[in-house]
Amino acid sequence: MLKIYDNRIFHLANDAVSYILYLLPNGQLGHLYYGPRLDVDEATLTEYTKLESKSGGTVHFSADNTLFTLADQLQEYPVYGTSDFRQGAVAVSQNATPLYLNFTYQGYSVAHEKKRDLCFPRSFAEAGAVDVLTIDLADAAHDLKLQQHYAIFAQGGAVVRWQTLTNTGTAPVTIDRMLSGGLDLPTADYQFVQLSGNWVRERHVKVRPLAQGTTSIESQRGASSHQQNPYVALQAKDGTLRSGDAYGFNLIYSGNFLAQAEVNEWDQTRFMIGIHPDQFAWQLDPSASFSTPEAVLTYSSAGLNGLSQENSAFARDHVMAPKWRDQPRPVVLNSWEAAYFDFDTDMLLKLAAAGKKVGVDTFVLDDGWFGQRDSDRSSLGDWQANKRKFPHGLAQFAQSIRDLGLDFGLWFEPEMVSPDAKLLAAHPDWVVAPPDERRAIARNQYVLDFANPTVVDNLFDQMKQVIDTTKLTYIKWDMNRNITEAFSQYLAKTGRPQGEFFHRYICGVYDLYARLLKAYPDLLIEGCAGGGGRFDLGIMFYSPMIWVSDDTDALERLKIQTGTALAYPLSAMSNHVTAVPNDQLNRTTPLATRFNVALFGSLGYELDLTKESPAVLAAITEQIKTYKKLQPLVLTGRFELLRTLDEGDHNTLAWAMVAADDSQIVLGFYRVLADPDGDAVDRLAIPFADPHARYAISGRDAVVTGSALKHLGLRLPYEFNGPNEAVAELKGDFQSKVLILTKEANDAL
């Protein structure tokens, strides 16, 4: 997968893509190509890496070569101000004086394995399934060593990049900016596709064209955030959902980030992604090193749908814990929207028993089980059972849940503390904020200083006590407010700069995750951050399921799950069927539609089953049976986007899961509002159907050829329009239908 020519051209390739970099005349690394696999030889590459001219109006890099400037060069890890006036990836200073860096080539090494290490989230692969190229560069004048790391995998269109900077001098320096890399492209003929929104409307797809200047998204909230997800795609301007070049960029990281595309005067595009340089300053002591989080680059020639599949396969194979790749997720019943804070042992046991009857696997007791927690104003940080609600102890309650035949799970918000907490009274310096100053408060809580290892120790000990006592198998890890007044009294006492706080904070979060999973390897942790405020590859490294959004309305989830599926696998999406009217929108949608949306992910329920009618309970029982039959497609299948709400049709959406062996297609079709003037017969092309096979269609006495599905399309369910009442399959607003297409055993035509 790696070829090296003349010790100056490096070609990383697999069957899908090529990534080519080379040495520029000044010894820095230049970028040549990333895209469909190239078959090239040394003579060809030599021709394409000649630099015999430069653009007008530019500054010479040095007096030694008046035809070379960095201003018009595609680069691998650019530096601002050394004849290139675009923003750079790395900046270092010493005693507040900027250093103008010049990292030149020293050599390289290659590894063929990338081990998984819980200490920090990074991609991984078994021996022989990856090539890792490390290129050593040095700036002798400033006593700095830079290692550029590249990983390409045996399959797929992904290339992973990260960097390590080492201080080889005798005095400390400050890293002011160190992004994780990106991609320089020769044109600007792309749309900038971002996943943006807010609490309860996360990861909506938003598109804007590139133009000369900078287009960016960012988070400086201490988390990847509800507002912006650290995923961006650059889609060819003439591309469609299923055609055209598309590049994806993601970050295996959960803290502050910056993702930006800068277009220069020659319409070259520089995309960079990494830790946000604002509020960041890392003291690099002599002999110390700093490594960036990993940036994931993906490519597809099949539009955003193809890119979605590349992203999903990469996350599943190289980020998500191997234990959970193919292992079914439990169908959970969560107590939150059923009870909120108002419950006792008897009420919960009745709820859990009702869940067992309909087929759930795990009962998850959400917020309100600890301290004096009867509202969101109390007890965070004091993780001991509420004695009034559990007079016989939490251990006995957990055993009662297991006696019902269910596994047991609990909600924690370990990063937060309430003003009345005993923990805060004992350790007032553990709060994120300058001492003795005004501090903002959100959701009636403060943030604990996870940059302080002692804080992490305390939370681990508290959580371990609860886990050991209850023998729980499932944790829902929440995080309900962002960081304000970012200041660590621990860093101040230890003499470290406050610019290290945000990164050290998220490293503390990862440390607690790692310690829990090392102590309890079978523990399933569902990531959550006020809903989807930390839905990223960093959390997915530890949590194979992440709560998609606090908005559980089925119609809103169509938009949220569509955007999420552009970057992440279905199996990572925690989707719950909840009660109506919906608690976030007060909208009432059919039970079938709520399930048909939640089906495309990891399923759960969040409603008071003890108050539902026998008909509803029977329907839920059948839903869970159906889901468990189809869950292998969620875990290992391929997701296909067929029609989105943003493609000119704002009323219908269709997506599908395809079995790994192509034996089955599960199609979800959704119509937001009834359309009395719709087509009598609406068809949807299934471009991935096998033209040489026949498919049986669930619920219909019909077998059709794959060729017909591909070109004539699948007949969608008849919608009620007045005259067709006898045959109408869908009526009213908020319609949905799941159709299962199964290949006939003898599929030869």
Question: What residues are annotated to the active site?
Answer: 478, 550
CA 444 to chain centre: 28
DSSP character string of 92-104: EEETTEEE----E
Burial 546-568 (b: 16+ CB within 10 A, else e): bbbbbbbbbbbbbbbbbbbbbbb
Residues in a beta bridge with 213: 263
Residues in CB range of 100: below 8 A, 6 or more apart: 79, 81, 82
Is residue 75 within 8 Å of 83, Cβ to Cβ?
no
Residues in CB range of 685: below 8 A, 6 or more apart: 642, 709, 710, 711, 712, 713, 714
Which residue in 281, 280, 289, 89 sits closest to 169, CA to CA? 289
Rounded to whole angstroms, the Cα distance separating 310 from 306 reads 6
Rounded to whole angstroms, the Cα distance separating 667 from 685 reads 12
Q: Alpha-carbon torsion 707, 708, 711, 713, what sign?
A: negative
| 589, amino acid identity | T
Residue indicated by tokens 């945000």: 502
450 φψ region: left (φ > 0), alpha (ψ -120 to 50), beta (else): alpha
Rounded to whole angstroms, the Cα distance separating 125 from 704 reads 41
Which helix (DSSP H) or strand (DSSP E) does residue 257 occupy? strand 257-263
Helix (H, G, I), strand (E, B) or coil at 735: strand
Task: Determine phi and psi for 566, rounding to 5 degrees.
Answer: -65, -25
| 95, amino acid identity | N
What long-range pairs does 693-701 form, CB within 8 A, spacing at least 24? 693/743, 693/744, 693/747, 693/749, 694/743, 694/744, 694/747, 694/749, 695/665, 695/741, 695/742, 695/743, 695/744, 696/741, 696/742, 696/744, 697/739, 697/740, 697/741, 698/739, 698/740, 698/741, 698/742, 699/739
Is residue 668 within 8 Å of 652, Cβ to Cβ?
no
Helix (H, G, I), strand (E, B) or coil at 354: helix
